[in-house]
């Protein structure tokens, strides 16, 4: 295999095939290229059968790219390699073996909307107010438990306090409902695969023997459950290659555990470690800025990115008066650059989705096309959810969550009281709604309603038979026709109904693409629904044309010629909630590092003097991350305000300690300086981050633990100094 275009570290990573290997791959260092060549090298040079190679990625897009690249490198056999996401791999394993756990092999996969429906139903049965117990919070609680492999019983035993106990009970009810429906949520896919391996050692051994060479991309993003799954699979042969970068671990809020990559050598003492530090993406100025920022972190494996590219343009600082002004400045620069770059080459990154509004407004008013990642998702639209629910019920009639959605859609005279009787019957007998309909003559339902219910079941049975010999596109057409759904929308003939018809037409584009690559079979509908359930935010990033707007989290793995990072202010980025937590602050700094290293040629760093966000106007100091970038790398240097202080200690950067601001004394004779800890009668404890003004107009900027940054008059604020 020709490796002449690889650098020495890349060659070594490709050729080190036996035993554990940690590849520390910096941003833009060609890790996907290394992974694909390593897989091809195993097959071409080491004669490893394709079926014995597993490669795990985090997005379907990355999996497709890896599969296509491997296919381009080898003569044949690429189709036999297991290249997939964690969840897609687990779907394949469970599809063949979940019966060991008492589930039907035709299980359903719930999406977030389905999950909320289940939790709301549980809250209703327990007479609990949805406003007091947010279903999203409860789902987050359940997800956290599953990601750490804590089952309902253990959760209840370890519960502390009323809420923990209540949510553990809801977790138990939730799992019982899913089990009765042969339904799984995303977190179940991994947790139940581990449970399967723990319960059925022969099944585990079969997959250990199958996956003799394991590759895991983005290892720093793995959570505890994913970590455990990989360890179980690799236990026999120990030919495990993990690729990642501790400096790009930014998904703690999803359960990602940075210690998985930091402790890899403890888990595998015989492991080889190879660092990929040659960057092929960004200019030297951008890399120097990124290295300077991330160098302030302590929880990392040290490395320094390098590049053969020249310095490139300096980073550009943008200071606006408000968020509206920030949007206008972004637009002005986009228009200036549009003669050199296409709109697709540019992206605007922000810490939270709420910041996108002002940028969107400015783009719309300037008639600049744009695309948003993470906005209203196509598959969340009502008509698409309805259609998907029909398909789920056809594939798994016992899926009560989906059945309840479509039982009277379009309206067929089946009211909520009838549905409640069916569900009540199911709770007493263990029957699904579909099964309860078969017994509806005997459970107190009117004859008129029984006829309608029987007709519905007959229609669904007929569609299930059709699904065995039809393509998914043909089946969708049959569903829309047989149910009367499309006919109803056409008769309505309103602006909204026409829009919904257009969305259903767009859905047929999705099914046609799927049908091109899959032959008609009994498994076709299950495969389609599994694929749809595993779609991620980034899988549709390239669908439209225009400037890309996205959160910094969503940008990971992507790259653009020109990047605008907006909202670089204390309290916005880094987020207010992390200011007094060193570990959380380090994660925010890693997020800044990820944002910086998305840029290839040009990088704009933007902040506003004041900003209205969540209906409140704030005036925050510039982000400490700006101060960590050497002045000589930024056009115009680093202007104005002093570096904020965290946890009462001075921040250090590559150029040494920051200078203290001047000391001021208020009317009561108390002296203050930047870094002093203070207590306010109303706002509680805080740290002085800045001083400005003269005489009676002297002001203190204080970061409070409760309310964030406040600017107060030194002479009048009820402050006491803390030692």
What are the residue numbers of the active site? 31-32, 217-218, 248, 598
Q: Is 106 annotated as a binding residue?
A: no
Q: Which among 56, 54, 50 is positioned nearest to 78, based on CA atoms? A: 50
β-pairing, 183-184 vs 21-25, is unpaired
Q: Are 406 and 389 in contact (CB under 8 A)?
A: yes
C-alpha–C-alpha distance, residues 20 and 47, integer Å: 19
Q: Which among 341, 322, 342 is positioned nearest to 566, based on CA atoms? A: 322
C-alpha–C-alpha distance, residues 110 and 417, integer Å: 25
Q: Is 292 annotated as a binding residue?
A: no
Q: Is 714 annotated as a binding residue?
A: no
Point out which residues pair with 348 in neighbouring strands: 549, 564
Point out which residues pair with 699 in neighbouring strands: 692, 713
Q: Is 30 annotated as a binding residue?
A: yes
Specify burial of residue 522 (Cβ count, 10 A radius: 0-12, 13-18, 19+).
Answer: exposed
Q: Kindly state the helix (H) or strand (E) to which residue 466 belongs, with its residue range.
A: helix 447-467
C-alpha–C-alpha distance, residues 400 and 372, integer Å: 34
53-57, strands of its sheet edge to edge? 82-85, 53-57, 213-216, 240-244, 21-25, 272-276
- The two three-digit tokens of residue 515, written as one number: 């049908």
Q: Are 392 and 591 in contact (CB under 8 A)?
A: no
Point out which residues pair with 21 in neighbouring strands: 241, 272
Q: Is 670 annotated as a binding residue?
A: no
Point out which residues pair with 678 in neighbouring strands: 686, 721
- The two three-digit tokens of residue 326, written as one number: 């920030």
DSSP state of 641: S
Sign of the Cα torsion 251, 252, 254, 255 reads: positive
Q: Is 25 annotated as a binding residue?
A: yes
Distances (CA, A) of 260 to 22, 87, 220: 11, 19, 7
Q: Kindly state the helix (H) or strand (E) to which residue 691 belongs, with its residue range.
A: strand 684-692
C-alpha–C-alpha distance, residues 507 and 389, integer Å: 14
Q: Is 375 annotated as a binding residue?
A: no
Q: Is 32 annotated as a binding residue?
A: yes
- The two three-digit tokens of residue 693, written as one number: 């003004």
Q: Which long-range contacts (CB under 8 A, 24 or more apart) does 42-50 make?
A: 42/17, 42/213, 43/74, 43/77, 44/1, 44/73, 44/74, 45/1, 46/17, 48/212, 48/213, 49/77, 49/80, 50/77, 50/78, 50/79, 50/80, 50/81
What's phi and psi for 616, nearest 5 deg? -130, 135
Q: Which residues are annotated as a binding site for ATP?
A: 25-32
Q: Which residues are annotated as a binding site?
A: 25-32
């Amino acid at each position: 295999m020709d490796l002449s275009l690889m650098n020495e570290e890349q060659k070594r990573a490709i050729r080190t095939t036996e035993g554990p290997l940690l590849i520390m791959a910096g941003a833009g260092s060609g890790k996907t290229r290394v992974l694909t060549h390593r897989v091809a090298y195993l097959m071409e040079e080491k004669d490893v059968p394709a079926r014995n190679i597993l490669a795990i990625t985090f997005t379907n897009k990355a999996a497709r790219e890896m599969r296509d690249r491997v296919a381009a490198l080898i003569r044949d056999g690429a189709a036999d390699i297991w290249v997939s996401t964690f969840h897609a791999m687990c779907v394949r394993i469970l599809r063949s073996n979940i019966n060991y756990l008492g589930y039907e092999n035709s299980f359903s996969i719930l999406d977030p909307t389905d999950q909320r429906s289940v939790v709301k139903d549980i809250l209703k049965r327990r007479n609990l107010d949805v406003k007091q117990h947010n279903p999203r919070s409860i789902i987050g609680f359940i997800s956290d438990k599953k990601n750490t492999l804590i089952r309902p019983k253990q959760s209840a035993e370890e519960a502390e306090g009323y809420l923990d106990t209540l949510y553990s009970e809801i977790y138990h009810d939730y799992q019982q409902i899913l089990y009765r429906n042969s339904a799984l949520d995303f977190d179940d896919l991994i947790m139940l695969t581990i449970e399967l391996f723990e319960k059925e050692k022969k099944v585990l051994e079969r997959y250990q023997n199958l996956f003799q060479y394991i590759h895991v991309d983005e290892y720093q993003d793995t959570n505890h459950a994913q970590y455990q799954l990989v360890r179980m699979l690799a236990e026999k042969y120990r030919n495990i290659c993990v690729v990642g970068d501790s400096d790009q671990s930014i998904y703690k809020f999803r359960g990602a555990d940075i210690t998985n990559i930091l402790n890899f050598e403890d888990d595998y003492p015989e492991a080889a470690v190879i660092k990929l530090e040659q960057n092929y993406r960004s200019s030297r100025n951008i890399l120097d800025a990124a290295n300077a920022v991330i160098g302030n972190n302590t929880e990392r494996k040290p490395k320094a990115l390098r590049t053969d590219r020249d310095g490139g343009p300096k980073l550009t600082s943008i200071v606006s008066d408000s968020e509206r002004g920030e949007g206008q400045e972004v637009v002005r620069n986009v228009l200036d650059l549009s003669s050199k770059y296409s709109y697709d080459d540019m992206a605007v990154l922000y810490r939270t989705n709420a910041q996108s509004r002002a940028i969107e407004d400015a783009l719309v008013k300037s008639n600049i096309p744009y695309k948003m990642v993470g906005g209203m998702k196509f598959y969340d639209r009502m008509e698409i959810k309805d259609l998907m629910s029909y398909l789920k019920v056809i594939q798994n009639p016992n899926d009560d969550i989906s059945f309840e959605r479509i039982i009277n859609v379009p309206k067929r005279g089946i009211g909520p009281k009838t549905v409640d009787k069916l569900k009540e019957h199911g709770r007493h007998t263990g029957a699904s709604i579909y099964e309860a309909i078969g017994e509806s003559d005997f459970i107190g339902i009117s004859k008129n309603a029984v006829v309608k219910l029987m007709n519905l079941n007959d229609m669904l049975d007929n569609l299930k038979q059709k699904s065995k010999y039809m393509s998914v596109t043909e089946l969708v057409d049959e569903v829309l026709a047989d149910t009367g759904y499309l006919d109803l929308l056409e008769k309505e003939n309103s602006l909204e109904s026409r829009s919904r018809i257009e969305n259903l037409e767009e859905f047929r584009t999705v099914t046609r693409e799927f049908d091109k690559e899959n032959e008609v079979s009994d498994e076709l509908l299950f495969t389609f629904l599994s694929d749809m359930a595993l779609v991620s935010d980034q899988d549709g990033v390239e669908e439209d044309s225009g400037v890309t707007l996205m959160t910094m989290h969503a940008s990971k793995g992507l790259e653009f010629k020109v990047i605008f990072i907006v909202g670089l202010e204390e309290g916005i980025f880094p987020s207010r909630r992390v200011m007094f937590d060193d570990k959380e602050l380090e994660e925010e700094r890693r997020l800044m590092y990820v944002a910086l290293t998305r840029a290839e040629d040009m990088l704009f760093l933007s902040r506003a003097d004041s900003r209205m966000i969540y209906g409140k106007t704030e005036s925050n100091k510039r982000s400490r991350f700006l101060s960590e970038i050497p002045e000589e790398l930024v056009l115009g240097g680093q202007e104005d305000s002093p570096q904020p202080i965290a946890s009462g200690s001075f921040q250090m950067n590559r150029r040494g300690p920051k200078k203290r601001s001047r000391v001021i004394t208020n009317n009561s004779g108390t002296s203050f300086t930047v870094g002093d800890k203070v207590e306010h009668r109303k706002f509680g404890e805080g740290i002085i981050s800045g001083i400005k003004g003269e005489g009676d107009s002297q002001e203190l900027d204080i970061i409070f633990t409760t309310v964030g940054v406040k600017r107060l008059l030194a002479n009048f604020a009820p402050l006491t100094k803390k030692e």
